[in-house]
Amino acid sequence: MTTALQTRKSVSSNQAPSTSAPVNFDAIKQKQQATWASGDFAIIGTTLQIVGETLAEAADVRAGERVLDVAAGNGNATLAAARRFAQVTSTDYVPHLLEKGAARARAEGLEVRFEVADAEALPYAGESFDVVLSSFGAMFTPQHSRTALELLRVTRRGGRIGLANWTPEGFIGQLFRVIGAYVPPPAGMQSPALWGTESHIAKLFGTQVSDIRCVRRNFNFRYRSAQHWIDVFRAFYGPTHKTFAALDSANQVSLAASITALLDKLNVGGPGSLVVPSEYLEVVITR
């Protein structure tokens, strides 16, 4: 399925440039890094493996190809590409997550290079890779345009970029808004969920590539109950872990109630279980 994309003009800010304070992206990135290093994202990440497999298929990863997984977390797209006998380099700026990915690769006897790297400043020469993947990773970088340029730079001409990004309308996009009502994002930050819109993808990549294909898919979060989901994400998922930790007890109870209401509204699993579809945008770009 190919979606026609048009670049839209960005909406100008109501705040005059002359009075706007510069955004400290380094400070934002350090805070983000601490957030993703908190809890244990690998516990959550392994449940998303099917997205990595689907993305590797969509990007047509082939044996022998040079593949880079950007903001790889604990390696879902990494393992999917390695299982297809590609030459995989897995990167993230959280070393602990790379260690988790490396343990998974060793358990399967897969050969993968794991390297600490910043998605906004990848330490690789231009056109070093045939395929560049990112599953719910690159979308969280503070500077969207810089990240997009880096993904393009390291991909060879004719190569592919495969992305999986949560949409604003889906469950995770709605969860971001719930969390933001309690702990607002840093001033000047673009929403990561913009990466889940066709228009933003066109704005970031459209003038520099030969083809963009976007497909909206669902990942199903499957847990015992809304309370079970909250318990797991509060303990292990960096953004929710940090948000709960930043709140007093009354607001913690309020946030849990807000998340429970959202989960109950979206649950298609019936009263005895929790099955919450979460929409994401699968993007395959040909450079």
pLDDT tier at 3, thresholds 50, 70, 90: very low
Enumerate residues 6+ apart whose C-beta is below 8 A from 271.
none
> pLDDT value at position 26?
73
Q: Among candidates 184, 186, 204, 187, which has minimal Cα distance to 195?
A: 204
Task: For residue 187, tell me if it sits in a domain.
Answer: yes
Number of domains into which the chain is organized: 1
Task: For residue 15, tell me if it sits in a domain.
Answer: no
Structure confidence by residue, pLDDT tens digits, 89-134: 999 999 999 999 999 999 999 999 999 999 999 999 999 999 999 9
Structure confidence by residue, pLDDT tens digits, 20-33: 567 777 777 677 76
pLDDT tier at 9, thresholds 50, 70, 90: very low
> pLDDT value at position 144?
96
> Residue 66 is part of a domain; what is its CATH number?
3.40.50.150
* 47 burial type by CB count under 10 A (0-12 exposed, 13-18 middle, 19+ buried): middle
pLDDT tier at 207, thresholds 50, 70, 90: confident
Task: For residue 24, tell me if it sits in a domain.
Answer: no
Reported pTM: 0.87
Task: For residue 100, tell me if it sits in a domain.
Answer: yes
Q: What are phi and psi of 182, to 5 degrees?
A: -100, -40
What average pLDDT does the structure give for the chain? 90
% of the chain beyond a pLDDT of 70? 91
Work out whether strand 211-223 and strand 274-286 pair parallel, antiparallel, or are unpaired: antiparallel
Rounding to the nearest 10 degrees, give the CA dihedral for residues 90, 92, 95, 99.
-30
* 229 burial type by CB count under 10 A (0-12 exposed, 13-18 middle, 19+ buried): buried
Task: For residue 73, tell me if it sits in a domain.
Answer: yes
Residue 262 CB: number of other CB atoms within 10 A? Answer: 17
Query: What single-letter DSSP state applies at residue 222?
Result: E
Q: Among candidates 115, 108, 58, 66, which has minimal Cα distance to 88?
A: 66
Task: For residue 17, tell me if it sits in a domain.
Answer: no
CA 66 → CA 70, 92, 157, distances in Å? 13, 17, 13
Task: For residue 33, tell me if it sits in a domain.
Answer: yes
Show the domain range for 36: 29-221+277-286
Task: For residue 267, tell me if it sits in a domain.
Answer: no
Spatial separation of the C-alpha atoms in residues 197 and 208, rounded to whole Å: 18
Say yes or no to pLDDT of 136 above 90.
yes
> pLDDT value at position 102?
97
> pLDDT value at position 38?
67
Average pLDDT over residues 230-249: 92
Average pLDDT over residues 222-230: 97
The number of residues in the chain equals: 287
Average pLDDT over residues 255-260: 97
Phi-psi region of 170 (alpha: psi -120 to 50; beta: other; left: phi over 0): beta
Say yes or no to pLDDT of 4 above 70.
no
